[in-house]
């Protein structure tokens, strides 16, 4: 299975961001990818105006997703992204969607809000209250998480225990001291925790690191981007997955685990 990682800087204009997503969807389709992973919060953002995500938020049936769903209808590639959706009283939810053949086949309301390193996502964003789903894409079971969820191993483990073989993570990983090291370490750790492939895509640009990458089930990084806009491809091997799980059966050997971890 071939997956594509598409990173780009998100602008304050949703129309521009929709064009960027559409271009990456077309490129991923041309390259024969079964799955494209895009960054977190691709609808609109402005590092100088935190209220932008509130002002520009759209429902799932709004013009941003309608445009991408129309493109998806004629493609074989599935696309994963997140956007801000209005909830109540001027607040929003950070919602991940999986688009496949013109439909939203899975959605996830971000559980862990980024109230860390001087930032406070919960100021405007409501947290979800349900574990993320596992969905079939191509010949793999795919679990999803969003950005800060990467720091919570129980989320990844719950996905693996429910059958995930690949975990994808749209993110907007903010720059800072040691943050690139955290990013790579956590991606590899979640792969080792679960013996899953982990594909994580961060926005790039003045605030975010880019550095999107894929780790294999032994935590080895097999594909990565730098800090600039890019589309990176990786081929995932079922044989590799099965061999690692036979040699390192952490999912079978764990004594204190449940697929309904909360």
Among residues 21, 52, 56, 147, which one is catalytic? 147
147 catalytically annotated: yes
Residue (of 98, 96, 97, 128) closest to 112 by Cα position: 128
Q: How far apart are the first and last CA of the chain?
A: 31
Measured CA to CA, the distance from residue 78 to residue 99 in angstroms comes to 6
Q: Residue 80 to residues 34, 102, 154, 172: CA-CA distances in angstroms?
A: 11, 13, 21, 14
Q: Tell which phi-psi region holds residue 183, choosing left (phi > 0), alpha (psi between -120 and 50) or beta.
A: alpha
Options 29, 40, 56, 203, the catalytic residue:
40
Closest CA to 36 of 166, 206, 227, 131: 166
110 as an active site residue: the answer is yes
Q: How many CB atoms lie within 10 A of CB 129?
A: 8
Annotation marks residue 40 as catalytic: yes
Strands 197-202 and 213-215: antiparallel
Counting Cα atoms < 13 Å in the Cβ hemisphere of 27 gives 17
Looking at 21, 110, 204, 211, which residue is catalytic? 110
Q: Do the Cβ atoms of 68 and 37 come closer than 8 Å?
A: no
199 and 234 in contact (C-beta within 8 Å)? Answer: yes
Query: Hey, which residues are catalytic here?
Result: 40, 110, 147
């Amino acid at each position: 299975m071939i997956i594509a990682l598409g990173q780009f800087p998100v602008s304050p204009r949703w129309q521009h961001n929709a064009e960027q997503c559409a271009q990456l969807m077309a490129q991923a389709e041309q390259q024969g990818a079964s799955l494209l992973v895009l960054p977190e919060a691709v609808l609109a953002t402005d590092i100088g105006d935190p209220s932008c995500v509130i002002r520009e938020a759209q429902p799932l049936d709004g013009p941003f997703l309608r445009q991408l769903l129309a493109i998806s209808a004629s493609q074989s590639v599935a696309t994963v992204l997140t956007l801000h959706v209005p909830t109540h009283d001027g607040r929003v939810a950070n919602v991940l969607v999986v688009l496949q053949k013109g439909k939203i086949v899975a959605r996830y309301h971000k559980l862990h809000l980024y109230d860390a390193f001087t930032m406070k996502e919960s100021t405007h964003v409501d947290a979800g209250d349900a574990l993320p789903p596992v969905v079939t894409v191509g010949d793999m079971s795919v679990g999803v998480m969003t950005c800060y969820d990467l720091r919570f191993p129980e989320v990844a483990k719950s996905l693996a225990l429910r059958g995930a073989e690949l975990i994808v993570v749209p993110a907007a990983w903010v720059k800072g001291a040691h943050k690139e090291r955290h990013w790579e370490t956590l991606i590899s750790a979640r792969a080792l925790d679960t013996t899953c492939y982990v594909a994580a895509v961060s926005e790039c640009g003045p605030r975010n690191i880019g550095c999107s990458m894929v780790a294999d089930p032994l935590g080895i990084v097999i594909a990565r981007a730098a800090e600039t806009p890019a589309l990176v491809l990786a081929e995932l091997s079922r044989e590799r997955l099965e061999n690692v799980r036979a040699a390192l059966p952490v999912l079978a050997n764990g004594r204190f685990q449940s697929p309904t971890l909360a």
